[in-house]
Structure formats: C-alpha cells, structure tokens
Structure 1
Amino acid sequence: MAKLLLVSNRVPWTVACAGGKGVLKPSSGGLATALAGTHARGETLWVGWPGDLGGLDAEARQAILDELQAQRVIPVELSAEEVERYYEGFSNGVLWPLFHYLLDKVRLDTDQDWDAYASVNQRFAEAAAERAEPGDSVWIHDYQLMLVPRYLRELRPDLRIGFFLHIPFPAYEVFRILPWRELLLQGVLASDLVGFHTPGYQAHFVNASRRILGAESREDGLDYDGHHVALGDYAIGIDAEAFSTTAASPSVMARVQEIRQDLGGRTLILGVDRLDYTKGIPQRLLAVERYLELHPEMRDSVLFLQASVPSRERVEAYAQYRKQVDEVTGRINGLYGSPSRVPVHVLHRNIPFEELVALYRAADVMLVTPLRDGMNLVAKEFCATRGDDSGILILSEFAGASADLREAILVNPYDTGAMAEALDTALRMPPGQARARMRALRKRVITHDVHRWAEAFLRDLHAQGPSPHPMAAHEAFLPSLLEDASDTERIALLLDYDGTLVPFTERPEEAVPDPDLLALLERLARIEGNELHLVSGRGKDVLDAWFGGGPFILHAEHGLWRKAGPGSPWTARMDHSPGWKLEAKTVLEGWARNFEGALLEEKDHSIAWHYRQVRRGVSSQTLQAIRDSLRPLAEREGLEVLEGSKVLELRLRGAHKGLAVDEALTTQGTLVVALGDDRTDEDLFRALPPSALSIRVGQGPSRALTRLPDPRAVRRFLEDLAAGLERIPRKALV
C-alpha cells in the first residue's frame, strides 16, 4: 500500500538530554502540531531533525532511535555547526527576513551558510529517498527545505512530490535580491504540486518563476524545464476541536475566573506571539501607548498583556528585539502606570496549552498585528475558544489570515494612529455587533480546520498522478546498456545540446560548453568503437566554434547540415533555396517588436524566434497567431513551423533531426543511444532503429523509451557510461 512521507525541519518530538539520558518531548512548533493529525491517522513516515543527540551515551542514543522508529520518525541528525549555518545562518538569517520584507535584517555575505543549507537539504532528500517505495507520495514543508524537491526528484523520479510554503512568498522585486534565487526556484519547481496560504503568495511565485527562470504560466500552474508543476492556495487551519473543547473544560473555565478576578474589573487586551521581529510587537506597544495618551480616562481600566514566547535566542537580531520590547514596555509603564497598577505586562516564557487557552478565553480584545505573516494561527486559535461568541479580534491586513477572517477589525500595523483608533472602536463596539462578528469568525475557523487543509492538499497531490513515462535514475538502465555494449562492434551516441547537455539560458549565445563538458564528450568519443554525434538546432558557425576541433560528428540546423569530423566540409542533406528568408524575417521582426526581450536567430536555412526573455511570457493564442501569419509563406515555399522550448522556428519541411540517422547507424552490430529534450528530438527518436535506446530529458509527451530529469542527470549518466565502457574488454568493441 502506498504511503505518505512528511518531510520538515522538525518532527513532532524533540529529544531532551539530561545526565547522558534522553527523553522525547512533544515539539511546540506550529507545523509539527498542524501535521500531527495527518501522521496519526494515516500510513505515514516523518523525516526530520529530532534535536541534538550528541549528549547521549551509546545505550541512551539507541533507546531514543528505537523510540523514534516506533513513532514512525526517520531522524536526520545534524551537527551543531550544521544547525548554526543551515538553520540559524541561512534559513533564519537570510530567507526568513527577506520573505517577510525586512530587508535590513537580511545577511547576504553567507556563502558558507548557503553551502550548509544545500548540503543539509541533500541529506533530507537522501533520507526520504531511502525509505520511500514506488508509488509513495512525499510532502515537503517550508522554507528550510526549498532544495529538497529537486534533490529528491534526481534520486527518485518515480515519486509524487508536494511542497508547501508556510511563510509569505515575496514580490519579485524583493525575491530577486537573493544571489541564490535561481537555485531556490528550481528546487521548488521540481515538485508536482506547490501550495501557498494565499492566492497573493502564489501570484508572487509565478511572477518570480517567469521572470527569473522563464517558466511558462498555465491556468493551473507552471511549465519549466519540460516539467509541469501544479500550484494551489490552501489556507491552513488549526485543530479547532481541541481548542474549543479545552476552552469549555471545567479546569480552564475555573482558570478564566481567576484571571478575571486578578484583573479587578479591567478590560484585558491580549497579544500572543513568538518573540520574532516579524510579529510587530514594538509597533503594537506604540499603538497601546497612543491609545492611553488619547484616552487618559482608560488608563486604569485596561491591561495589555503581551505573551512573548522565546524564539531563536542565540540569534543576535532576536536578542536586540527583546531588548527593544522591554525598553518600550518600561517607558509606557513609567508614563501611565501607578504604584498599584501598570497598563502593560509582558510575559516572556513558554505558556502551557491550558493556560494559553484560558488567556484566550479571558481576553476581551485580541491584538494580532504582525508586520508580515504567512498565515498566523494565533488569530484562529483565539476565535476557536470563544464558545459564547464574545471577544473582538484586531488583525493585521498583512497576515495571511486576513483573507479568511474578514469580520475582524483589519489594521495596518505600520499605522500607529490607526491601530489606536481600532482599539477604541473595539472597546466601544456594541455587544450585539461584536457577537455577530465573532460568530461568523468562529464558524469559519471550525469549518476550515487543519484536517480539511491537509486533506485538500493531499487530494490535489494525488490527483497529479504519476508521470505516464516516469523518469528513471540512470542506474536503473545503465547495466543492461553496458551488457548490450559488450556484444556490440560499434556504439553511436546522438546527443542534442540545448536542454540536454546544458540548461537553457536567457540568451542562446550564453550556453557555451564548459571545460568539464568538453572533456567528457571527448573522453566518450575517443573510446575505441565509439562514435559521438552532436545533433543540434544551432547553426554551422556556432557548432564549428564550440566543437569543430573535437572528434565529433556535427549535425547543424536540426540535421540539414552534416560535418563528418575535424577538417571535413559541411554537406547539405537536402536541396534547398533560402530565398524565402527575407519575407519570413520581416514577419517575425514585426512580432518581435511587440514583445520586449524577443529576438531572432538567423541561420543559413532557418529562422528562429526566441521568446525566453519575454518577461510576461507569450500566450498560446499569440503563438497560434504567429503560426497563422507564417502559414501562407510556409505552404508556398514548402516550409514548416516547429515549436521548441520557448522558440518558434521556420525551416524546410523534412529538415529534421531524423536526417542524422543515416543507413550506417541502422546496420547490425551498431548500438545507438540518443538523448534529447523537446519536440525537435522526437523526429530523431522516430528515425532510430528498433534496437536503439532513446532517452527523453525532462517531462512532456515522448516516444522515448526512458527519461532523465535534467542536464545534470545527463552528465552523470554520460560520466558513468564512459567509465563503464572503458572497463569493457577492448576485444568486445572491435
């Protein structure tokens, strides 16, 4: 039976060490809490970091590992340095502030932290790949693991992969600041389904993917590197029943009465947050100060209680933030307090669950005013506890929850005066109006709970289904290929270039082969009995400049031209006349003027219209209109319009890559291996002899026998193929 693997930075249990022994304690993080129900109810494994096991002796360590196994947890153990660099350094020193638009707190001189981030992500992917079975689904969570989908796809392309981002995805102009922007997007885009809390975050992700990577937007997602990625917005909920039931329990209700008595008739305004600079606690305090300034008659009638749960205390920015909160609190109490009462009280400690619920239930007004927040579950927790529909919620419009909780009083947390006015509105609101608002809020929170959120995402993930031609790690087919090679006199490798040996670039001229690639190709070509063909849509001049000095057979303009090796002339494979090019160029230049970034590539006997750099993309309707405008010329001159990866090309009909497969390659005793990534390579695959191995690079419909995910996987395959062929006894190849 197929199972689900959950992958997150932390797991639901944290190891606590004391005296060389260890015990598992429930984790307090919101993500662990949100997914606990899914883990408890299904056939699941959970991959993540359980905390530091370094203080345990051998016996205690094994006992903890056994206990984690019993809880179906796959631990990824991290060293103290890895935690410092991957988690505190890059995840929380770079991604967290940038994704929350706090650019002054972003550290960009963090190459070592980035290396640790990539390394730890690789380890998470390896742990999931090792325990996953064919047909399983993997659900990866949050900003700490944005590279895991790609690493996992390379290791286990047979798996169904989902990714959910629990924090905001920033606008393009903010995200583009990151030096690692391309790699982070590529990591996430290896998923089958990517989820966000709001449509706005999803729109930002689409825009960044299009403008930075040239991904193509579809109605339900993005196409990138031959792979379709579905996108969706899923507003996470809470375990509403747990909060509602606990709030109604006798022990909590008794505690509520105690709190109300301690207040001595004062109105309780409550804030509950992690002590994090995104939560807007100083701005909230300033709003309370402004309210007390404007309404001196209320100074002895209200108490603002801020519960600040310690967070990331080893990070300097957080220590400074706590100091700022304490200083503002001290000033307010100095101005407006009395020997017997202060208007602001700050609790800086962890709060047990029942005590937290009692505070929610006792509060008259809840202030949830983050500067930016992916969702903010505190607002929903407060609503779930209000069984009598009392209480008023003041909520930041920059919290993801504001899209769901529309009956709250929405405020701009940067506008101190407006927040003070919102406080006054809340405290003066007629009870009937307040109850109507809370009734609607509570109903929505209870209906759209965390279980519904998880079910919706997993339903959509399973709907993606496995690829009809699943990509394979080359270790799956390389042994049989080498076995066939040992009985073969000659091996012919037919390799596409762009999208197969190298990734696509914004400008075609930038995809110059690197020294490692040239060395690898030459190594393959010089193995006795090997013949290496480069079959490309590039023009003769480019292929000559890049590969003309190597022991390769070159095929330019999709097979129209052939060069047998260094020093040989180019020969045409078809009769042709380029007289049509001037008219075609005029038509395509007209279209190019309408799309900034579009460019023409003129070859001897074809013209390509590239639109990879068109920032807003080119719609399918526009592409059809371009094809229609070329149709009269194509029909008159015997041409065809071919669509590739972000390119339309007008060429001679019949001038396709299948021309590279001549009679010599179809003779007995020749083993042909062909690799390509797009529609132009399907002509090559179609012309291959039945005994050939065809490999499609990336997704998309194909007649190829197997697949590899991307150019990096192709290079690893070719390296292992070269090593394998070099080990075959030479007599088998002659």
Structure 2
Amino acid sequence: MSRLIVISNRVSAPTGSHSGAQGGLAVALSAALREYRGIWFGWSGETTEQFTGHINLQRAHDITTATVDLEAQDVEEYYDGYANRTLWPLFHYRIDLAEYERGFAGGYQRVNQRFADTVRPLIEPDDVVWVQDYHLLPLGDELRKRGCANRIGFFLHIPWPPLRLLSTLPEAAQLVRTLFAYDVVGLHTEEWLESFRDFVVTELGGTVDGDVVSLDGRSIRAIACPIGIDAKEFAALSRSTRARLAFRQMRDSAVGRDMIVGVDRLDYSKGLEERFLGYERFLKEHPGERKEVFLLQIAPPSRGSVETYQKIRTGLEGLSGRINGAFADLDWVPIRYVNQGYPRDVLAGVYRAAKIGLVTPLRDGMNLVAKEYVAAQDPEDPGVLILSKFAGAAIQLKQAVIVNPYSAEEMSDAIITALKMPREERIERWRALMDNVEREDVIWWRQRFTDVLLNVPQAADAAAPAPVG
C-alpha cells in the first residue's frame, strides 16, 4: 500500500501530545495514520463566503492534514441539517426527532460532491482510500464518477438502524445504493451488519453470501469490525504527571466518598436523563449510601446550533438541580454536573479515581469511553464498569455490569452491586475486560479492516464492478 488516505467530516490537527481533548475517532485515526505516509482530508470547521476548493495542507507529528472551508449554507444544510438533524437521530432510533427536508438532502449531496472534487487530485494510483462515517455515505460513489479506481473502504461509526426505521428516510434506497461504490463496508457489530444486509435484501433485492453483499451486478465485502483504543498508550497516560495530579485532586475533593463518573457529549443518544433518574432511584432506595458517594457527570456541549441539543442542556440542568435540591446536605452534593471538556490525560486520572464508570447510552455504535475507563484502572484496585446493553462495546466487554438504561431500577441495582463488589471480583472482571481492550485495540481494528480492503483486487476501470476475493 502506497499511502492511506483517510477522509472524514472533520480533521483533528495532531498535537504531538496526549493532552488534547480529542474524541475517540480522532485518536483512533491518528494512531492508524502514523503507521503510513498518508493524508487526512476533511472540513476545517471554518466557513468561507464562497467555496473555492482551496486546500490547506499541514504536516505535523507524522500526519499530513488537508482541510477545506465550507460555505455557511453548506454547514447549515449538510452538517447541522442532513447529518445531524436527519441521519443522526434516525440511525440512533429516534425517528421522532428526525427532520426530513429536501434542502438538507440537497446540501448533503452538494458537499459530498465538493469533497470529491477537492480530494480527487490528491489521490495517487496506489493509494488506499478510507472514508469515515455517516456524513460521507455517498462520497465513494462521487469518487468513482470522477475516475477513482482505487480501493475504497467505508466505515460507519454509528449504529445501522433496522429496516422499518431506515425506510422512513425518503432517500434511503438511493443512499444505500451509493455504498456499493465501495469495496468494503465496515460496521462495529453483527447487529448493525445484519440490519444493513436486511435492508439490501428486503428493500433492494440484493443477495448475501457470507461477507459478500451483491446488488445490481456490484459486490462488496460487508464486515463487523469493532473499533478499539490504543490501550497501552491510554494505560500509560493514566500514570502521567497530569493524570496523577487529576487523580489526587479528585480523591481529595471526594473526602473519602466513592466517585461515580460519566463522560459523554451532550447528546440524547447518551441517555443522560435516564442516567440521572437511575441515580436518583439509587439515592431513594439506599439512603444509607447517600453521603458515601457522588456522581461526577462531564458533558461538554455539542451541536449547539441545533435546537434539540439546546433543549437537552436545559432539561439536564433542571433535572440535576432538582436532584441536588432534594438530596443535598450542607457538606455533600449528590451530582457534580460539568458542561466542559477536559484533556485526555486529565480524564485518564479522573477515570482512575472513580469507583464506578457509568456508561449508559440509549444507543451507541461502540463507545470508547467504556474502553478508556477500563484501560485507566489500577490493576491492584480497579473500579467497576457499568455498561448499557445497547452500546456496541457491550458485545466485547461482557464482564462489565450490563444494564438496560431505560430501567431506573436496573441502574440503581447496578450501582449498589458495583459499590459492594469485593476487590477479588473487581480484579477478576477488570482483567477479563482489559484483555479484550488490549487484544482488540485500535491497531487490530485498522489491520482487520485494511487487510480485507487490500485483498480486494483494484478495479482496472472505475465504472466496472470490482471482483471480490
């Protein structure tokens, strides 16, 4: 492979340190790119009055980034609109929040075309192209139209919804057909993969033979490939100077109490309201434990320009205030609710200080916070991971305390179980979890996907179906 060309909606400029507050995907892609002389292409996050296709190239810490600015209308229709007000809620099973507007769909297609026009000259004949996530579903099709005969893979980092939900999207059939321009399509779990196959077969008349999915004379490989973290790096990060300072700060502020921690973007898919209600049930059912524990919820805002997210923040502020008002005492507050992000090394120290990691999304493609919490633990005295059964990570992390996040009673029971769990059991569970986090790490994820992609013969003609090996 000559180079790896990664294309995603946003590009995180590498910092060369571990202190940046990067998301899980950004960290994973940075780790993959460092192994190759490649390019990471995407939107800069900035706007321009008129789209020109000008590329800003930067090279730092073994990663080359190439970014473009978008027009304000592009951001409104493609990003705030179709990506985050149509696809995101729909793919997270929230059709009640999904907005279907033709203007959004038109902007989404336009930006994918602009991405294809701009990145195409950067792609050399031997490069392997890896497109990331729901923002760019049709990008492979647009690249093929521009003569790109390279091996092109696509990875979806969010769930794939069941057939009946996806069928509510007016452009669903057309959008799914564009995925057959790729050579390999990856999803995190067998559940998401089965939903994809079901739509292709039932709605489009395609066929499935093992990993090979065929439609209209074109065959692709569709695989389950769960993403991981750089487990060794994060474990080392938890022992860094800033992590140790954060650890001591949290332990000092806890004054002997056990800390429960949740770290999530402020998003309805993360189940924060249900988490607060489950914690409230715990406080009601176990009054003797009230002043022995507190919940630290870190929830940095996201997509503030979308009205739904503004409502989420307002609702959580009200709920946390009500719970604190009902249960707080002069020397104790049950919930510390923080609306800002923190660097990864600081979070590593916070995770290590927490008796419980509370990861309870209502629906999540994977959830790397769960894996980071495991990697940050002290092997001699680890905390307990409470994990939603609806997170993709639950398939791998079976030794966590698995809960239904819609049930406040289950959440309450899980919290008291974790608090009372003997040290020997905590170590046994953690060791099994850590084995998986280390074995199926980000390098394993990258190798599993690219090995499949590299085994697909490169098409001699971009318009011709690529043979499947």
Coarse TM-score class (shorter-chain normalised)? over 0.9
**Shift in CA distance, 122/275, structure 1 to aligned 2, threshold 3 Å:** same
Instruction: Provide the rounded CA distance (Å) in 1 between the counterparts of 2:417 and 2:21.
Output: 38
Query: 1:432 maps to what in 2?
Result: 424
Query: 2:3 maps to what in 1?
Result: 3
Q: In 2, are the aligned partners of 1:68 and 1:75 still within 8 Å (CA)?
A: no
Amino acid at match of 1:273: D
CA RMSD of superposed structures (Å): 2.2
Q: In 1, are the aligned partners of 2:21 and 2:342 still within 8 Å (CA)?
A: no
Q: In 1, are the aligned partners of 2:260 and 2:356 still within 8 Å (CA)?
A: yes
**Does 1:46 pair with 2:36?**
no
Q: In 2, are the aligned partners of 1:14 and 1:27 still within 8 Å (CA)?
A: no
Superposed counterparts of 1:437-586, under 5 Å: 437-467=429-459, 470-472=460-462
**Does 1:423 pair with 2:438?**
no
Give the alignment partner of residue 408 of structure 1, picking from 396, 400, 410. 400
Amino acid at match of 1:83: V
Instruction: Provide the rounded CA distance (Å) in 2 between the counterparts of 1:126 and 1:332.
Output: 52
Q: In 2, are the aligned partners of 1:160 and 1:192 still within 8 Å (CA)?
A: yes
Instruction: Provide the rounded CA distance (Å) in 2 between the counterparts of 1:66 and 1:168.
Output: 32
**Does 1:394 pair with 2:380?**
no
Q: In 1, are the aligned partners of 2:57 and 2:66 still within 8 Å (CA)?
A: no
Q: In 2, are the aligned partners of 1:2 and 1:135 still within 8 Å (CA)?
A: yes
Amino acid at match of 1:135: D
1:29 Cα deviation from its structure 2 partner: 3.1
Percent identity over the alignment is 38
Instruction: Provide the rounded CA distance (Å) in 2 between the counterparts of 1:262 and 1:426.
Output: 21
Instruction: Provide the rounded CA distance (Å) in 1 between the counterparts of 2:91 and 2:425.
Output: 36
Query: 1:90 maps to what in 2?
Result: 82
Give the alignment partner of residue 246 of structure 1, picking from 233, 237, 240. 237
**Shift in CA distance, 48/87, structure 1 to aligned 2, threshold 3 Å:** same
388-397 or 284-293: bigger deviation: 388-397
**Shift in CA distance, 119/185, structure 1 to aligned 2, threshold 3 Å:** same
307-316 or 160-169: bigger deviation: 307-316
**Shift in CA distance, 299/204, structure 1 to aligned 2, threshold 3 Å:** same
Query: 1:163 maps to what in 2?
Result: 154
Q: What SS does the aligned partner of 2:299 have?
A: strand
Query: 1:145 maps to what in 2?
Result: 136
**Does 1:260 pair with 2:238?**
no
Amino acid at match of 1:51: G
Instruction: Provide the rounded CA distance (Å) in 1 between the counterparts of 2:122 and 2:20.
Output: 24
Q: What SS does the aligned partner of 1:51 have?
A: strand
1:272 Cα deviation from its structure 2 partner: 0.6
Instruction: Provide the rounded CA distance (Å) in 2 between the counterparts of 1:27 and 1:264.
Output: 27
Give the alignment partner of residue 375 of structure 2, picking from 368, 374, 384. 384
Instruction: Provide the rounded CA distance (Å) in 2 between the counterparts of 1:451 and 1:417.
Output: 38
**Shift in CA distance, 26/366, structure 1 to aligned 2, threshold 3 Å:** closer
**Does 1:105 pair with 2:129?**
no
Amino acid at match of 1:417: E
**Does 1:335 pair with 2:326?**
yes
Query: 1:12 maps to what in 2?
Result: 12
Q: In 1, are the aligned partners of 2:58 and 2:66 still within 8 Å (CA)?
A: no
Query: 1:619 maps to what in 2?
Result: none
Residue correspondences, number: 460
**Shift in CA distance, 154/27, structure 1 to aligned 2, threshold 3 Å:** farther
Instruction: Provide the rounded CA distance (Å) in 2 between the counterparts of 1:68 and 1:86.
Output: 28
Amino acid at match of 2:396: D
**Shift in CA distance, 65/351, structure 1 to aligned 2, threshold 3 Å:** same
1:195 Cα deviation from its structure 2 partner: 0.4
Q: In 1, are the aligned partners of 2:24 and 2:229 still within 8 Å (CA)?
A: no
Give the alignment partner of residue 273 of structure 2, picking from 282, 291, 299. 282
Query: 1:35 maps to what in 2?
Result: 29
Query: 2:209 maps to what in 1?
Result: 218
Amino acid at match of 1:80: A
Gap runs ≥5 in structure 1: 16-24, 56-60, 474-696, 702-734
Instruction: Provide the rounded CA distance (Å) in 2 between the counterparts of 1:342 and 1:12.
Output: 36
Instruction: Provide the rounded CA distance (Å) in 2 between the counterparts of 1:427 and 1:27.
Output: 29
Q: Please, what TM-score do these two structures have when normalized by structure 2?
A: 0.93
Amino acid at match of 2:2: A
Q: In 2, are the aligned partners of 1:47 and 1:127 still within 8 Å (CA)?
A: no
**Does 1:303 pair with 2:294?**
yes
**Does 1:205 pair with 2:196?**
yes
**Does 1:129 pair with 2:120?**
yes
Instruction: Provide the rounded CA distance (Å) in 2 between the counterparts of 1:356 and 1:27.
Output: 9
285-294 or 259-268: bigger deviation: 259-268
Instruction: Provide the rounded CA distance (Å) in 1 between the counterparts of 2:199 and 2:431.
Output: 39
**Shift in CA distance, 452/343, structure 1 to aligned 2, threshold 3 Å:** same
1:27 Cα deviation from its structure 2 partner: 7.4
Instruction: Provide the rounded CA distance (Å) in 2 between the counterparts of 1:34 and 1:348.
Output: 24
Q: In 1, are the aligned partners of 2:385 and 2:400 still within 8 Å (CA)?
A: yes
Instruction: Provide the rounded CA distance (Å) in 1 between the counterparts of 2:244 and 2:122.
Output: 46
Instruction: Provide the rounded CA distance (Å) in 2 between the counterparts of 1:280 and 1:138.
Output: 34
Superposed counterparts of 1:592-611, under 5 Å: none
Q: In 2, are the aligned partners of 1:197 and 1:375 still within 8 Å (CA)?
A: yes
Instruction: Provide the rounded CA distance (Å) in 2 between the counterparts of 1:208 and 1:281.
Output: 31
Structure with bigger RCO (C-alpha 8 Å, 6+ apart): 2
1:92 Cα deviation from its structure 2 partner: 0.4
Q: In 1, are the aligned partners of 2:367 and 2:392 still within 8 Å (CA)?
A: yes
Q: What SS does the aligned partner of 2:182 have?
A: coil
1:12 Cα deviation from its structure 2 partner: 2.0
Q: What does the per-residue CA deviation read over 1:116-143, in whole Å, with 9 as the maximum and x for residues that have no partner? A: 0001111222233222122321100100
330-339 or 396-405: bigger deviation: 330-339
Instruction: Provide the rounded CA distance (Å) in 1 between the counterparts of 2:23 and 2:242.
Output: 25
Q: What SS does the aligned partner of 2:264 have?
A: strand
Q: In 2, are the aligned partners of 1:225 and 1:698 still within 8 Å (CA)?
A: no
Instruction: Provide the rounded CA distance (Å) in 2 between the counterparts of 1:125 and 1:463.
Output: 24
1:71 Cα deviation from its structure 2 partner: 5.0
Q: In 2, are the aligned partners of 1:13 and 1:50 still within 8 Å (CA)?
A: no
Instruction: Provide the rounded CA distance (Å) in 1 between the counterparts of 2:2 and 2:38.
Output: 9
Q: What SS does the aligned partner of 2:34 have?
A: helix
Superposed counterparts of 1:711-730, under 5 Å: none
Instruction: Provide the rounded CA distance (Å) in 2 between the counterparts of 1:53 and 1:143.
Output: 21
1:188 Cα deviation from its structure 2 partner: 1.3
Superposed counterparts of 1:681-696, under 5 Å: none
Instruction: Provide the rounded CA distance (Å) in 1 between the counterparts of 2:255 and 2:123.
Output: 58
Amino acid at match of 1:362: A
Instruction: Provide the rounded CA distance (Å) in 1 between the counterparts of 2:155 and 2:57.
Output: 29
Instruction: Provide the rounded CA distance (Å) in 1 between the counterparts of 2:56 and 2:113.
Output: 21
1:257 Cα deviation from its structure 2 partner: 2.2
Instruction: Provide the rounded CA distance (Å) in 2 between the counterparts of 1:283 and 1:125.
Output: 41
**Shift in CA distance, 88/68, structure 1 to aligned 2, threshold 3 Å:** farther
Q: What SS does the aligned partner of 2:295 have?
A: strand
Q: What does the per-residue CA deviation read over 1:632-685, in whole Å, with 9 as the maximum and x for residues that have no partner? A: xxxxxxxxxxxxxxxxxxxxxxxxxxxxxxxxxxxxxxxxxxxxxxxxxxxxxx
Amino acid at match of 2:458: P
